[in-house]
Amino acid sequence: VCFAGVGYTIRAWRILLLVCSSPILILLPVAFMTDESPRWLVQQERMEEATQVLQKAFRRNQVQLNTPLASLLDRMAQQERKTSSACGRAFPGSCALPGRIEQVWAYLRAPAMRTIIVVTPTLWFLHSCLYLGVVINANNFTSRDPFLYLALTGLMEALAIVIITPLTAHMGRRIMVWAGLGMGGILLMLELLVPNDSVYYWLDWVLVMVGFLLVAGAFQEEYAWWAVSVTFGCAGILGSLMVPFLPETNKRPLPETLQDVENRHKWRRGARNTLEDDGVCHTNMTPLLETAPSGSNT
């Protein structure tokens, strides 16, 4: 929204780019004010610094641990050593090129990890094309007021954050991404049915803006007039069809090792087979048990 206002005031694109990009320089000093990752510090055997970072985090979040922090860090260090030792045994000479290739090949051999490696980048690519497409399409979509168009896309993005974020926390990420990409792609395809220069031009705005609210999509170059909506509408629909291949992660512990990923995949397959056999999924079939902090009440 602000960028549309600045663009309306400054028409020279070079000056506009300079004015809008300059505030990013303010973010550079912030990197030096950010605390280092406690886990990385533990991996580097810098326990004192890790303790200070965690204590600061506990104070800011008003959290108290029943377990001494030193004991917690010792367990973290032991776990890191076990993981490193297991990785070294599985991939001897991993620092050399053959060892690194073997590590990559191990990921590709695992079915669950292979699915994630293929689906996730493809989904990111399609989603990014859709998101950037709607914004870049301002001049091609309407010659009436591209600044209003850009401001509305910013408003739609704000509404998406306000509306979709709580729904995602309640319904899960996978269903929301699937529905957003699929419905957004369909709306972009429907935009083709609106006649040009008709009294229903407002319907163009509604379809594209709601499509952007759902997925952010549509990009135009010097192609056939129908290519934009078809290409990016299909991209949204294709992305929605790929989402079910990914596991749900909302309110669930994330895997930390390749074996954790495979165990989660096996659990999902087992749960589906159980549903197909008797229509009941046993509640004790959990992919990963979330470990509660030692000493906490469960």
Percent of the chain with pLDDT over 70: 60
pTM as predicted:
0.49
> What's the chain's average pLDDT?
68
- Token pair, residue 233, equals 């509408």
More confident call, 197 vs 29:
29
Identify which of 121, 162, 130, 94 has the alpha carbon closest to the alpha carbon of residue 236: 130
The owner of tokens 């990923």 is 261
Mean pLDDT of 172-189: 76
pLDDT bin (cut points 50, 70, 90) of residue 140 is: low
Identify which of 128, 138, 136, 150 has the alpha carbon closest to the alpha carbon of residue 215: 128
pLDDT tops 60 at residue 16: yes
At residue 97, the pLDDT reads 59
Q: How many CA atoms lie within 13 A of 140 on its CB side?
A: 18
At residue 87, the pLDDT reads 54
Identify which of 73, 66, 215 has the alpha carbon closest to the alpha carbon of residue 131: 215
pLDDT bin (cut points 50, 70, 90) of residue 196 is: low
**End-to-end CA distance of the chain, in Å?**
47
DSSP 83-137: HHHHHHHHSTTTTSHHHHHHHHHHHHHSHHHHHHHHHHHHHHHHHHHHHHHHHHT
pLDDT digits (tens, 9 = 90+) for 61-120: 877 766 677 677 777 777 666 665 555 555 444 455 566 677 777 777 777 777 777 887
- Token pair, residue 228, equals 């934009």
More confident call, 189 vs 212:
189
**Euclidean distance between CA atoms 158 and 156, whole angstroms:** 5
At residue 292, the pLDDT reads 37
pLDDT bin (cut points 50, 70, 90) of residue 280 is: very low
pLDDT bin (cut points 50, 70, 90) of residue 285 is: very low
Mean pLDDT of 172-186: 77
**Euclidean distance between CA atoms 60 and 48, whole angstroms:** 19
Identify which of 45, 7, 220, 262 has the alpha carbon closest to the alpha carbon of residue 134: 220
Mean pLDDT of 163-186: 77
